[in-house]
Amino acid sequence: MSLPATDPCVHCGFCLPTCASYRVLATEMDSPRGRIHTLKAIAAGELELDATVASHFDSCLGCFACVSACPSGVRYDELIEATRPKLNAPELRTPAQRAFRRLLFSLLPYPQRLRALLTPLRAYAGTPLQALARRIGLTRLFGPGVEAMERLLPPLEPEAFRDDAPVLVPAEGTRRYRVGLVLGCVQRLFDPAVNSAALQVLSANGIEVVIPPAQGCCGAVTHHQGELEQTRELASDLLQCFDAVIGPGQPAGPEPLDAVLVAASGCGHTLKAYSSLLASAGSEEAAASPEAALAFAGRVADIQEFLERVGLAEAFAAALQPLRHGDGTPATAERPLQVAYHDACHMLHGQGLRNEPRQLLRRIPHLRIIEATEAGVCCGSAGIYNLVQPEEAAELGRIKAADLSGSGADLAASANIGCSLQIRRHMEEAPRPIPVLHPIQLLARSHAGG
């Protein structure tokens, strides 16, 4: 198979301590160095990509911590991205694995389908019934994949079942910028408060927000699993949604956007890759608009990245108040609110954003950021990894939750919906559970008076 170069790997092993799969499986074949060695052997015709070999690639979380750690500049991210589509060959997975993945890919990227499935579960999620079902092991009867899904299911808010955001949210005061907002298919259903907070913060910072009402998934879920055809369809649909509301005579008016923002780092990573994704050979839709894909991808920014780049509005920054501790007392210089910031892999290793979220949080008075010991190690969420590799993911989730809660922080901040769901689920079992919130929620709360 033809792949990006594996040659720069000098087998030094510096990447091994950062590798999440190596951490829990402890075998060379499940490390970046081992997988690179395997790719070389396949390319040399010494090894075949059979189901056993494929399973060692499936165990990779795609967290890219190895890319950040590698002193030789090996682009493992490109290697695994080029390998993933080959892992989807039918003979490499069991019928049950294929069926479960098909189910996930036909549900997760489609908010309306997911809503239809979740509607009857509103009477279950977050209720004593759910606690009872877990206690007596009822969910285990449906197999490890479904059990893992159920364990991640948060209480379902009424807002998750509404698409009532206006197409245009005006800026408060003088308009400084005009941006689009990608809502995220999982985020809008499982944590709608994040997008509400994003709208409050943006508007209060003099930023007008355009929200295409028919938008679906950006394609991150399928992109990270090498399902390229479906990803390109989803990406093309999203581009069309933006085109349908911006322009002369369109609901959001004719002016172009300064940026396209998203508050979920897994989505941001894929949105920034649209130009290469849609320009890839075999994508007919991309051939129709490569310039549009390039222009769109060039405008994509994580909401924290954008706010740090343009700066907070003076009035907004001046209005920020200390947040409150769990006992209701406001944070003070003597007793600051301590926040453990969790670096999502697709933010830190995938987009190279480490300082921006921390800088933004530091604007909140009397908020102190605590660095967890394992800040750069994956939490085990990794798209659908915690559903298709539930045991390894659970082990990583336990490590992450224990690390964050053991840091002594009052709460944890996570800027990716997948990580937040995974950490909250495992925080339940931590010795000192702490809440997990998106940094933009903390900023909105601080602006609203703490």
Going by DSSP bridges, is the β-strand pair 207-210/168-169 parallel, antiparallel, or unpaired? antiparallel
Which C-beta is closer to ligand SF4: that of 5 or that of 89? 5
Burial class of residue 281 in the structure, from the number of CB atoms within 10 Å of its CB (0-12 exposed, 13-18 middle, 19+ buried): exposed
- Smallest distance, Å, CB 227 to ligand SF4? 18
Stretch binding ligand SF4 (CB under 6 A), from 62-70, 157-165, 166-174, 404-412: 62-70
Give 183 or 399: the residue with its C-beta nearer to ligand SF4.
399
Task: Supply the minimum distance, in Å, between the C-beta of residue 145 and ligand SF4.
Answer: 20
Kindly tell me which of 60 and 393 has the beta carbon lying closer to ligand SF4.
60
Q: Which of 24, 49, 53, 76 binds ligand SF4 (CB under 6 A)?
A: 76
Determine how many CB atoms are found less than 10 A away from the CB of residue 280. Answer: 12
Residue 348 binds to ligand SF4 (criterion: CB under 6 A)? no
Q: Can you tell me which of 53, 62, 197, 222 binds ligand SF4, judged by CB under 6 A? A: 62
Q: Which is nearer to ligand SF4, 260 or 372 (CB)?
A: 372
Decide: is 385 part of the binding site for ligand SF4 (CB under 6 A). no
Which stretch, 64-72, 149-157, 214-222, 299-307, contacts ligand SF4 (CB under 6 A)? 64-72
Nearest approach in angstroms of CB 51 to ligand SF4 is: 19
10 binds ligand SF4 (CB under 6 A): yes
Query: According to CB under 6 A, which one of 24, 53, 54, 66 is a site residue for ligand SF4?
Result: 66
266 contacts 220 by C-beta, under 8 angstroms: yes
Write each residue from 11 to 30 as x if it is in contact with ligand SF4 (CB under 6 A), else as -, in one continuous string.
xxxxx--xxxx---------
Our CB check for ligand SF4 shows the closer of 66 and 440 to be: 66
Q: Least Å distance between CB 57 and ligand SF4? A: 9
Q: Which of 24, 33, 194, 340 binds ligand SF4 (CB under 6 A)?
A: 33
CA distance 155 to 145: 19
Question: What residue type is assigned to position 16 of the chain?
Answer: L
Q: How many Cβ atoms from other residues are within 10 Å of residue 117's Cβ?
A: 10
Q: Specify the stretch interacting with ligand SF4 by CB under 6 A; choose among 31-39, 100-108, 318-326, 400-408.
A: 31-39
Q: Tell me the window of 69-77, 95-103, 225-233, 256-264 that interacts with ligand SF4 (CB under 6 A).
A: 69-77
Joined tokens for residue 381: 């969420």
* Residue closer to ligand SF4, measured from CB, 104 or 393: 393
Q: Is 74 in the site for ligand SF4 (CB under 6 A)?
A: yes
The site for ligand SF4 (CB under 6 A) is made up of: 9-15, 18-21, 32-33, 36, 60-66, 69-70, 72, 74, 76
